[in-house]
Structure 1
Amino acid sequence: MNYLIVEDEPALGETLRAYLAKDGQAVLATSLAQANERVAQISPDVIILDLSMPDGDGLTWLAQWRKHLTARVIVLTANDEELTMLKGLRLADDYVVKPVSLRVLKARIAKQLPMTVQQFGAVSLNLATGQVTKNETAVVLTAAEYRLLAYFFANPNQILARDQLLAALWDTREQFVADNTLTVTIKRLREKLEDDPAHTTLIRTVRGMGYFIDG
């Protein structure tokens, strides 16, 4: 996921950039001129747009760019005037008034993303194309690894028992599947998707109970 943050307050801009960078690539533009360059450089999926920029008005900039953008645009501003909000909602996909918590902002972003793309941390899964990426880099999975990851993504933050995972992924009634098949598949997934497979942050083990994907 590529994020462009258009924000002229350095501290807030860097806070947003660091937070969103956990889910992909996040780039900060502190002026509209810089935003023009960043749009061309990274082809953003999501733009977080302040309105009061040093070199112009964010909504004027958005009106000029709107027909060229495929990105979801979320206005993030201290301006809570009704007319500005109405104009912003006509041009952008959402309008959020500062201050707002990072978790609420992330939830507002998630509401704008197509359901075909699911994301946990730096790992995303496109259900339409079957593509898996980590930090915007494609990851090649075997069929079994892909089925397992897709099942985890479909059941987020739930502890899934080993028998449940085996039954969902392999037809254990018609063919023998060794219990360590699941262990090996999870190990390989972790090697491909975790920064440090020895200290997992994505696919976690709950001793005596099973596994869950941590979103």
Structure 2
Amino acid sequence: MKRIFFVEDDLSLIHGLSFAMKKQEYEIEVARTNLEAETLWKNGTYDLVILDVSLPDGSGYDLCRKIRQTSKVPIMFLTAADEETDIIMGLDIGGDDYITKPFKLAVFLSRINALLRRSDHFNQAEPELNSNGIKMQLLKREVYKKEEQLDLTASEYKLLYLFMENPDIVLSPEQILSQLWDCDENYIDSNTLTVYIRRLRTKIEDDPSKPQKIVTVRRMGYKWNTVN
């Protein structure tokens, strides 16, 4: 049985969503404050974390950062904070999905299932990827370029993993977006993806203006190039 850690202060939402998730045979642990959540997190093991951004004693963003220091557990933000900057921040600090209120219950449950499937796939992957002078140590969530550790955001890390897991395969923007993020397409679209790829190139390419690792295939998408 999958265990879900639900951090939310709205009692009516807690009762409604907990009932719906339990019907899907998930085990639910609930915290209503940052302090309570930190205590439960230290003492529990979970398969998915669902975080509200606005909590009575702090921010869900802060809790996300703390969780990411020690765990790669999937994190979903479920919040009324629906500005583009809120969503991008949530993804960059380690969120895997971001759902804004109000939302449809069926969509919410579907995206929980999708996150858990992706997590299972990731956990079954090889512990290390090594290509083009870039090494990803998946168990540690660390990336190295010629033995120098790179500082990647969570979104950049996931993007690099997708490319290195599919060497020399052209991935369309739509394929990349569907694999990485389930957020509202108004925020995570091809233009945003272009920004992420440009940022990632500045960190992994020897000359970002002439990329050799993540190459653009005109009118088709991008690929991780292993042929030099």
SS in 2 for 1:80: coil
Q: Give identity over the alignment, percent.
A: 31
Change (3 A) 1:51 1:112: same
Structure 1 residues 3-18: aligned runs within 5 Å:
3-18=4-19
Q: Secondary structure at the match of 1:26?
A: strand
Does structure 2 retain, via aligned residues, the 8 Å contact 1:5–1:16? no
Structure 1 segments unaligned to the other structure (5+ residues): 119-126, 129-215
Displacement of 1:86: 0.5
Rounded Cα–Cα distance in structure 1 between residues aligned with 2:76 and 2:6? 10
1:35 aligned partner, one-letter code: A
TM-aligned CA deviation for residue 116 of structure 1: 8.5
Q: Partner residue of 2:212?
A: none
Tell me by how many angstroms 1:89 deviates. 1.3
TM-score (norm 2): 0.49
| Cα distance between partner residues in 2 of 1:85 and 1:26 | 25
Contact 2:6 2:50 in 1 (8 A): yes
CA distances 1:116-140 after superposition (whole Å, capped 9, x unpaired)? 859xxxxxxxx99xxxxxxxxxxxx
1:82 to 1:117, Cα distance in 2 relative to 1, 3 A: closer
Number of residue pairs matched?
A: 121
**TM-aligned CA distance change 1:28 to 1:103, over 3 Å:** same
Please list every run of at least 4 consecutive aligned residues from structure 1 whose deviation after the TM superposition is greater than 4 angstroms. Answer: 115-118
Instruction: After superposition, give the CA deviation of every residue in 1:147-201 in whole Å (9 maximum; x if it has no partner).
Output: xxxxxxxxxxxxxxxxxxxxxxxxxxxxxxxxxxxxxxxxxxxxxxxxxxxxxxx
Residues 45 and 70 of structure 1 are in contact (CA less than 8 Å); yes or no, is this contact kept in structure 2? no
1:103: Cα distance to partner?
1.4
Judged with a 3 Å threshold, the aligned counterparts in structure 2 of structure 1 residues 83 and 117 are, in CA distance, closer, same or farther, namely closer
> 1:114 deviation in Å?
3.1
Query: In the alignment, what sits opposite 1:75?
Result: 77
Alignment equivalent of 2:50, drawn from 48, 68, 71: 48
Question: In terms of Rg, which structure is larger?
Answer: 1
Does the 8 A contact of 2:74 with 2:119 survive in 1?
no
Structure 2: gaps (5+ residues): 126-228
Letter in 2 for 1:110: N
In structure 1, C-alpha distance between the alignment counterparts of 2:22 and 2:40, rounded to whole Å: 15
Contact 1:76 1:97 in 2 (8 A): yes
Over aligned residues, Cα RMSD in angstroms?
A: 2.3
Cα distance, 1:97–1:103 mapped onto 2, change above 3 Å: same
TM-score (norm 1): 0.52
